[in-house]
Structure 1
């Protein structure tokens, strides 16, 4: 810690947990300070020893236009990283440290009234020209920027890529499925909103999803 800089207790992970400064390093200090302390806590906890943080909640709204629906179905070929469940229902998000990629594995579980839940896995890795990448499967990924807007943490796709062994190909703009925006907004009392939007410059909003999650009880944190 630099001399003369004090870090408040409520800005740190719980006692005994490792502090994770990787998200914090992606933002100017002043912007990070604009975030509610609950958001800083969620993105400053580093899991170790296979530990997982579990956030339970529900999808309150999900919608897609016709092209977005077809895109979600086609994306099954790379592991179904887009919503396939288009009805509000229970959902769970888990975050685990990725020992291989030196990042985090995010798993999203969406309950279906009939059949098995949809499970979406992705890995956030602190790499690339923007400092953050999300890998969704089959070598497909995207570079993300991180900003703070109206006290919310906002992730936006900059470009998509395809990893073929040691070779990385950047997907040309005309072939991109759209621009992805994910917003994490604190709602107070241990709750936060998670919103996802996929927008195409020619075909408008393809997919949108709004969900609300709860912090785990103190015994599980």
Structure 2
């Protein structure tokens, strides 16, 4: 059995992309376990797996309507409160063509098929990192350190089809998205997602508790 904080030989190489985005001072402020998770780049067909459980889930009426509407473009927001206390699995692989990472998030539900969210983080754009959810929809992110954890905050949303790109005005965006990765010691960490609106307050919030698994070839 491999130690969950290591990877198989040859499956990963050192990666300084997140380190460069944060700057040396902020990077060194992160716990060593967080630096290890975000300081390696997967090679070939290797994948990194995190397994956990959803421990908090809430939304208001506006958030419910938005998450249901978002199902038309791939369901990027948690839409079922029955995912609470259900298993969650996150798989990360390298997006070689897009100079980034593919993220697949699977959230169990009390009944029916689990919710599966696909996205690609690419090290591009005016902020240095963007997330694409498909259907031409993307989001520029700002990476920072908060309370000893790594945070990703939406800077702006955009539509892109080929070389054509349109930055959406603030009033047209679904809200301010914040994702945090907070280390809890050992192999455990908390993944939190919060979407807030100037007009409707907190739309959606989800916490999932994960622990590291070994990289699978």
- Could you say which TM-score interval applies, normalised by the shorter chain? over 0.9
Distance 1:200 1:35 in 2: 29
* Backbone CA RMSD of aligned residues: 1.7
Moved over 3 A (4+): 12-16
Of 81, 94, 97, the match for 1:86: 81
Residues 72-99 of structure 1: per-residue CA shift (max 9 Å, x gap): 1111111111112213111000100012
> Which position in structure 1 is the counterpart of 2:195?
198
Query: 1:165 pairs with 128, 151, 162, which one?
Result: 162
Q: Which runs of 5+ in 2 are unaligned?
A: 1-5
Contact 1:13 1:41 in 2 (8 A): no
Checking the alignment, whether the CA contact within 8 Å between 2:189 and 2:211 is kept in structure 1 is yes
Q: Deviations over 1:93-121 (max 9, x none)?
A: 01000122110000100011211111000
Q: Does the residue aligned with 1:26 lie in a helix, a strand or coil? A: helix
- 1:39 pairs with 12, 22, 34, which one? 34
1:109 to 70, 84, 106: 106
Higher relative contact order (CA 8 A, sep 6+): 2
Per the normalisation by structure 1, the TM-score is 0.91
Q: CA deviation at 1:14?
A: 7.2
Say whether the 8 Å CA contact 1:13–1:44 is kept in structure 2: no
Deviation at 1:150, TM superposition (A): 1.7
Which position in structure 1 is the counterpart of 2:72?
A: 77
Query: Distance in 1 between the 2:21 and 2:163 partners?
Result: 26
Runs of 5+ consecutive residues of structure 1 not aligned to the other structure: 1-11
Who is 2:3 aligned against?
Answer: none
Does residue 136 (structure 1) correspond to residue 140 (structure 2)? The answer is no
Q: 2:107 touches 2:115 (CA, 8 Å); kept in 1?
A: yes
